[in-house]
Amino acid sequence: MKATLWQRFNQIVCNLVPLFLILGLAVVSVLPMRLPYYADVAPMLTVIGVGYWSIVRPDLMRPSFAFGCGVFEDLLTGTSLGFNALVLLCIHAMVASQRRFFLGKSFLVWWWAFALVALVAVLLKWFLFAVIVDAIIPLDRVLFSYVITVLIYPLWGRLFASLEVALVREG
């Protein structure tokens, strides 16, 4: 049976939800907070999004989407173009290559693995930033950002899981 125009439109929208969700996370991550040093310790929300969707729905989180989200985040934050794009591409590649391992595992395994992936992401960001500005930033702030990111992963993971169930029902 041929899909109607509305069904095709619905499928396209469902397929773009992870992309627009991660773009929204990039926007949320740059919202001004009235906390001192917040920018230094802000959680890496886009890493959470790309990491999750690369496992669950790699068909909806392609490398080109991860790259685009990274460039968008670069434009929002004012970092060098390609900085976050490279980090998100690395995260996508790491997670997507281990997708078979993650499927069917408990949430604790996913969380533990995300902690490792986020550590790679934060250290890569720290290293790239040090190379770009030719100065080493304090590692304590970077590690605090890492800890916050890992601690909030269950909240975002639950939200993403609920969204994924809704997408499966709709799509």
Q: What local confidence, expressed as pLDDT, does residue 89 receive?
A: 97
Q: What local confidence, expressed as pLDDT, does residue 35 receive?
A: 81
Q: How many CB atoms lie within 10 A of CB 9?
A: 11
Q: Structure pTM? A: 0.90
CA–CA dist 125, 82 (Å, integer):
11
Per-residue pLDDT of the chain (171 residues; tens, 9 = 90+): 677 888 888 888 888 999 999 999 999 998 888 888 777 788 999 999 999 999 998 988 999 999 999 999 999 999 999 999 999 999 999 999 999 998 889 999 999 999 999 999 999 999 999 999 888 888 888 899 999 999 999 999 999 999 888 877 765
CA–CA dist 95, 66 (Å, integer):
12
* CB 47 within 8 Å of CB 91: yes
Q: What local confidence, expressed as pLDDT, does residue 148 receive?
A: 95
Q: What local confidence, expressed as pLDDT, does residue 43 receive?
A: 93
Which of 25, 56, 49 is closest to 168 using CA atoms? 56
